[in-house]
Amino acid sequence: MFTELSKLSFQGTFGREYVWQTAKKPNCLLAGTILGSQVLRVRLLRSSRLDNTRYQLADGGAGTLPYHSWIVAKGDEQWHETGQLEEAIVRSILEPYLQGWAIAPDALRLTRPLASEERVFGLGERTGTMNKRGQAFPIWNIDPHKGHGPRTVTMYTSIPFYLGLTLNDGRAHGVLLDHTGRVDVDMGNSNGSAASMTVQGDSLIAYFFTGPTPADVLKQYTELTGRMPMPPRWSMGHHQCRWSYLSQKQIHQIATRMRERNHPCDAIWLDIDYTDEYRNFTWNTSTFPDPEQMISELHAQGMHLVTIIDPGTKIDKHYAVYQQGIEHDYFCRFQNGELFTGTVWPGACVFPDYSQSRVRDWWGNLYQPLLQQGVDAMWNDMNEPAVTNLLVHDEPTAETKTNTMSDDVLHQAGREQPTGIDGPPTLHKFYHNAYGMEMARATYEGLLHLRPDSRPFVLTRSGTAGVQRYAALWTGDNTSQWADILMAMPMCMNIGMSGVAFVGVDIGGFWGASNGELLVRFAQLGALMPFCRNHNAMGNPDQEPWSFGEPFESAYRSAIETRYRLMPYLYTLFHEAASSGAPIMRPLYYHYPQDEQAGGVEDAFLVGESLLSAPIYEQGATSRSVYLPAGIWFDYWTGDEYPGGGWNTFTAPLERWPLFIRANSILPSGPVMQFVDQYPTEPLTLTCHMATDGLATYTLYEDDGNSLAYQQGASARTDISCRVLKDFVTVEIEEHFDNYRPSREEYEVIVHTGGRTLQKKVQAGQGKMVIRL
Ligand code: MIG
């Protein structure tokens, strides 16, 4: 039974917060504040006292809020914009957000109105339709038994953030609950005009982002929860993974085949079977007798190696990681002090308590031997955490709370220093969704510490709001079936709209047998997803690019070659995500928020602002219908022009899929390479697709692709513009090289306009160039 808070009386300001109290018992407080000019926070406390102990932020910096947060990365003292607003004004801004708070004996709830035209996006990794309006589900990370389908209620990564978009006026706003326990979300399911989010416990903290565009909401949301740091360029290439490549010899064969058969590839991945009976940080020395030799051969081929590490630590008194963890008390325990154990691949396991910074530091340093042997990056799996002995009995549609750690494990966090860096000890029940993210954080911070001059690359399966600060995300165990190509699009678009730009699905599908046609269509989807990795489960037929012969092998290759050609464009988009939180893979409404039709498109996506990809997701299909928003669009393959603002059917023989370029845009591209850093991008091609009377501008971002120097501004920005006015076509290039100079001799400028193609080569490095074509 929930009682809505009413009869609020204003108590005054305490620090930055404006505090209201309920008149009746039970006494509660609502404390609100404005951060920046478009971010607000209101928190409900089941208490008549405002707790004002300081806390520490996820990035280790000091904050001024009186509570601890795993999600938030920017403390109150770092928001400057509001200045000196008058008290009465602040109160009037906050007042609309004081409605809809309710309390029950063991739960708290926030209810926000849903406008009649409002659609609901975001909410992290979920199957089903992109618009979540009308649905109810829990936010609770689990490993769904045997993959996921349209009815899976919750998955590995859930994010308590939604973006509301009213299509009639194109306005967007966002709501985040700063909560890592279970959240029961109801987006207009039980009451069509209300969105509610319910948590257990004594405190409910919500942030509101005022938009008004989808891009503004993402900017505001990621200013609070953090942004992806630039990953190494090689991680944007094509990856080949398998559960499992079983030997050093096999790794050598796969890498060599990639090169011999000209399949661009930047990394090979080792799944759990490289280890000594699933002990983390060990090798099976009979199948991998000389990892260093293996890795140096890979490096000589321009390949990288990524290894998997799970949290489950084998209980084995002869195993050093177990010994150290026991000696220093690094593993999770119940409140009564008993160790939490669960069965995973190695058999009975204990689990590191990543809520403690001393445990994260320890775990981070455990990667040292692997890095010394040359391993390039890490893959964290099973970090919901998944406990498989329970998984067997799990019925994911009915039960979402099993197959993971027990609610009453007590994470020690800051232990006897609750106001220190990690905050106070927390029950698993309230920490659960942060477990995977904090493991990824331990990995990311460990890699950064051990290799301070290189950008870490970490892939995680589990996470929550803010995980983008530490890792890229893949969507776990999909299936080799047509429905999964379609399902990937709304899922990944919503993940991108939840602040996690670096995302992808297993190309070819994980469970079940793939086939040539399905694999090719999967590769065409993955070719323009931010993360591009082929992965397959044990026991299935092989699905490497060559596995099904011709014509599939060539079609796979050409999809991936398209990605490599567009690498300058993708790289610039990664930088945009790192600096403003913009997704790379974008729903159409992101750029066309007032377009009713665009708002409903779930089977196509924008890559940045200029490309629209519409993968094939039906067996045997050689055409499909595509919605093109208003404007003119150019077919990527043929250069044909199409008017937007409606649906059209486009052909798609096996080796192609519908892919379009928006008119009045500039697309940078380079030659195909076998791995991203094989050569400098030479020549850099700037293709301008222009209306007969048009203007396009673009800024290309480049840097060294691997070091952290970009954080000190070592980068190249090249401003390009193209103007077409009847017969006059002018392209301007202006280079800004700031402690980084791309090695380049020339630009190739191509302009498509009014059925003509104009072309010129220009010497690079002249600073500013005006080119008339
Ligand atoms: O229970 O490590 O999602 O990508 O290949 C399966 C084996 C455990 C699940 C991951 C998958 C990986 C597999 N893992």
**Minimal-distance CA residue to ligand 1 atom 6:** 382
Res 518: pLDDT: 99
Closest alpha carbon to 647 in 601, 679, 582: 601
Closest alpha carbon to 242 in 506, 447, 16, 14: 506
d(CA 154, CA 123): 11
**Minimal-distance CA residue to ligand 1 atom 12:** 243
d(CA 614, CA 626): 7
CA angle 50, 56, 58 (to 5 degrees): 125
Please give the distance, rounded to the nearest whole angstrom, from the Cα atom of residue 229 to the centre of ligand 1: 26
Task: Examine the residue annotation and report whether 603 is marked as an active-site residue of this protein.
Answer: no
The residue type found at 561 is E
Alpha-carbon dihedral 405, 411, 413, 419, rounded to 10 degrees: 130
Q: Point out the ligand 1 atom lying closest to the alpha carbon of residue 537.
A: 5
The answer to whether the CB of 310 is under 6 A from ligand 1 is: no
Alpha-carbon dihedral 338, 344, 345, 350, rounded to 10 degrees: -20
Please give the distance, rounded to the nearest whole angstrom, from the Cα atom of residue 379 to the centre of ligand 1: 11
Please give the distance, rounded to the nearest whole angstrom, from the Cα atom of residue 538 to the centre of ligand 1: 9
Please give the distance, rounded to the nearest whole angstrom, from the Cα atom of residue 381 to the centre of ligand 1: 7
Q: Point out the ligand 1 atom lying closest to the alpha carbon of residue 241.
A: 5
Residue ranges of E strands in 23-170: 29-35, 39-45, 55-56, 62-63, 101-104, 107-113, 118-122, 135-139, 161-166
d(CA 609, CA 213): 15
Token representation of residue 230: 């630039």
The HSE-up count of residue 59 (CA atoms within 13 Å, CB side) is 17
d(CA 161, CA 691): 39
d(CA 33, CA 20): 12
Alpha-carbon dihedral 552, 557, 560, 564, rounded to 10 degrees: -170
Tell me the best of 242, 306, 381 to mutate to test the pocket of ligand 1, counting ligand atoms within 8 Å of each CB and taking the most. Answer: 381
Q: Which run of H or E residues covers position 517? A: helix 516-526
The answer to whether the CB of 272 is under 6 A from ligand 1 is: yes
Residue ranges of E strands in 282-399: 304-309, 313-314, 333-334, 342-344, 347-350, 377-380
Please give the distance, rounded to the nearest whole angstrom, from the Cα atom of residue 507 to the centre of ligand 1: 14
d(CA 165, CA 264): 39
Closest alpha carbon to 284 in 294, 271, 274: 274
The answer to whether the CB of 384 is under 6 A from ligand 1 is: no
DSSP-derived 3-state class of residue 557:
helix
Please give the distance, rounded to the nearest whole angstrom, from the Cα atom of residue 561 to the centre of ligand 1: 28
Tell me the best of 145, 271, 308 to mutate to test the pocket of ligand 1, counting ligand atoms within 8 Å of each CB and taking the most. Answer: 271
- Identify the active-site residue in 216, 310, 376, 384: 384
Please give the distance, rounded to the nearest whole angstrom, from the Cα atom of residue 262 to the centre of ligand 1: 28
The answer to whether the CB of 143 is under 6 A from ligand 1 is: no
The answer to whether the CB of 273 is under 6 A from ligand 1 is: no
Token representation of residue 646: 């409606």
Please give the distance, rounded to the nearest whole angstrom, from the Cα atom of residue 151 to the centre of ligand 1: 21
- Identify the active-site residue in 223, 310, 477, 506: 477
Q: Point out the ligand 1 atom lying closest to the alpha carbon of residue 388.
A: 1
Res 396: pLDDT: 39
d(CA 461, CA 125): 10
The answer to whether the CB of 523 is under 6 A from ligand 1 is: no
DSSP state of 273: G
The answer to whether the CB of 518 is under 6 A from ligand 1 is: no
Q: Give the global pTM.
A: 0.97
The answer to whether the CB of 566 is under 6 A from ligand 1 is: no
Task: Examine the residue annotation and report whether 384 is marked as an active-site residue of this protein.
Answer: yes
The answer to whether the CB of 477 is under 6 A from ligand 1 is: yes
- Identify the active-site residue in 118, 381, 394, 702: 381
Please give the distance, rounded to the nearest whole angstrom, from the Cα atom of residue 546 to the centre of ligand 1: 23
The answer to whether the CB of 381 is under 6 A from ligand 1 is: yes
Residue 712 has φ and ψ, to the nearest 5°, of: -95, 15
Please give the distance, rounded to the nearest whole angstrom, from the Cα atom of residue 141 to the centre of ligand 1: 16
Please give the distance, rounded to the nearest whole angstrom, from the Cα atom of residue 475 to the centre of ligand 1: 11
Closest alpha carbon to 527 in 570, 480, 474, 587: 570
Would you list the DSSP string of 121-141? Answer: EE-SS--S-S--TTEEEEE--
d(CA 759, CA 340): 67
Tell me the best of 308, 477, 536 to mutate to test the pocket of ligand 1, counting ligand atoms within 8 Å of each CB and taking the most. Answer: 477
Distance linking the first and last C-alpha atoms of the chain: 72
What is the block-wise mean pLDDT of the chain (773 residues), using blocks of 10 residues? 92 91 85 93 90 65 73 86 80 96 96 97 98 97 88 95 95 97 98 97 95 98 97 98 98 98 98 97 98 98 98 97 98 96 92 97 98 98 85 38 86 86 90 98 98 98 98 98 98 98 98 98 99 98 98 98 98 98 98 96 98 98 98 97 97 98 98 97 97 96 98 97 95 96 96 96 96 95
The answer to whether the CB of 271 is under 6 A from ligand 1 is: yes
Give me the count of residues in the chain.
Answer: 773
Tell me the best of 243, 275, 474 to mutate to test the pocket of ligand 1, counting ligand atoms within 8 Å of each CB and taking the most. Answer: 243
d(CA 418, CA 421): 8
The answer to whether the CB of 312 is under 6 A from ligand 1 is: no
**Minimal-distance CA residue to ligand 1 atom 13:** 243
Task: Examine the residue annotation and report whether 271 is marked as an active-site residue of this protein.
Answer: no
The answer to whether the CB of 243 is under 6 A from ligand 1 is: yes
Tell me the best of 152, 280, 382, 460 to mutate to test the pocket of ligand 1, counting ligand atoms within 8 Å of each CB and taking the most. Answer: 382
Q: Point out the ligand 1 atom lying closest to the alpha carbon of residue 308.
A: 2
Please give the distance, rounded to the nearest whole angstrom, from the Cα atom of residue 282 to the centre of ligand 1: 18
Residues 6 or more apart whose Cβ sits within 8 Å of residue 336: none
d(CA 290, CA 706): 26
d(CA 38, CA 208): 8
The answer to whether the CB of 241 is under 6 A from ligand 1 is: no
d(CA 530, CA 711): 21
d(CA 662, CA 592): 13
The answer to whether the CB of 476 is under 6 A from ligand 1 is: yes
CA angle 258, 260, 263 (to 5 degrees): 40
**Minimal-distance CA residue to ligand 1 atom 5:** 243
β-pair partners for 308: 379
